[in-house]
Amino acid sequence: MGVINISIKKGVLSEENRELEVKVFLGDNIRNISNGVALNCPIADATKSFGECIELRLQDIPTIQPSAGKNAFNILLQESSQLYLPNMKENGNEKECMKFNFVNYLQENNAGWVGKDTAESLGCEFIKYITEVIWYIDMCGVKKFKDREYSISTSLSIFFEHANPAKYKKKRPDFEKEVLNRHISNLITYKEAKWFNKSSFNWFKKTFIEFLDSLISYVLYLDNQTRVMNKNHALDKPVRSIADSGTTTIYNANKFRSGDIIKKYEPLVDALQKLEDWVPLDISPYCLDNPT
């Protein structure tokens, strides 16, 4: 028998559109064909060794879609533009809930820090500092702050008028310049932060700077009030004399009046009768140069 090379290759069955692989098995009878051989092996040697019964078997080849692969540059590019915000607990006291609400406020305005680690460190610290000073002003009384003409932007007003010292059985504390100075020191470093100039935060930069300026101005106001008070306490004389403080003298009615006196002061009596209680009246126009 001559040497014959089997060169059957895998093909595609068009009716099923499946990719198949051809494998060759040999045996000495049709019930015992189990010896696999290579497709291009010499058939004479193969049949001599394993038998002359030949069986071709078609087997499915799993179709594996080529992986698109991950482009390292695309991954870095995506990471460099991905914005993150700190994770804050929704549950807790009102002060803790304010942090959660402030994160939502930033999210609604498409704000965030590049990189998850940056958001959890720098971002978390910034939110902590700004909500702490908001809470302090609210506890002392934001109305007092505004009544003295120190403004708070409309966008930040939503975070005020939530702190109620009565819930903690306390009265509203007075503003202290030392406490405000600590809050200002925590926030002022962010004024020149590079991330404040990015599109994700430049919408908030003006609001933040105006709020910070109001805090600084209020500290100057408190400092001036303290200096004036200390100066007044150091005076040898009281700031106002007893006479300057004003006195009121009430006289009993004069029941013994002559007709001339009654006529002379009749316009004054009429004016007093028409006047409401406790309304001051200048009586000099009703008095003559030489009163009787």
Q: Check residue 54 and give its pLDDT.
A: 77
Domain annotation covers residue 187: yes
239 or 266: whose pLDDT is higher?
266
Q: What is the pTM of this model?
A: 0.55
58-67, 172-181, 239-248: range with highest mean pLDDT:
172-181
**Does residue 289 surpass a pLDDT of 70?**
no
How is residue 228 written in tokens? 């004036």
Q: Does 31 share its domain with 153?
A: no
Residue at a domain's end among 185, 206, 233 = 233
Q: Does 146 share its domain with 193?
A: yes
Q: Does 127 share its domain with 34?
A: no
Q: Does 166 share its domain with 25?
A: no
Q: Does 35 share its domain with 99?
A: no
Domain span including residue 89: 78-233
Domain annotation covers residue 246: no
Structurally, the chain folds into a number of domains equal to: 2
Q: Does 93 share its domain with 197?
A: yes
Phi, psi of 86 (to 5 degrees): -65, 150
Domain annotation covers residue 271: no
CB 160 within 8 A of CB 136: no
Q: Check residue 137 and give its pLDDT.
A: 94
Percent of the chain past pLDDT 70, that is, above it, reads 73
Q: Does 104 share its domain with 221?
A: yes
**Does residue 240 surpass a pLDDT of 70?**
no
182 or 80: whose pLDDT is higher?
182
Q: Does 178 share its domain with 103?
A: yes
Q: Does 153 share its domain with 219?
A: yes
Mean pLDDT (the chain, rounded): 79
79-83, 143-147, 221-225: segment of lowest average pLDDT? 79-83
Distance between CA atoms of residues 212 and 126, nearest Å: 13
How is residue 122 written in tokens? 């720098």
269 or 221: whose pLDDT is higher?
221
Q: Check residue 15 and give its pLDDT.
A: 42
**Does residue 13 surpass a pLDDT of 60?**
no
Q: Check residue 79 and give its pLDDT.
A: 61
Our CA angle for 125, 220, 214, nearest 5°, is 50
47-56, 99-108, 221-230: range with highest mean pLDDT:
99-108
Domain annotation covers residue 55: yes
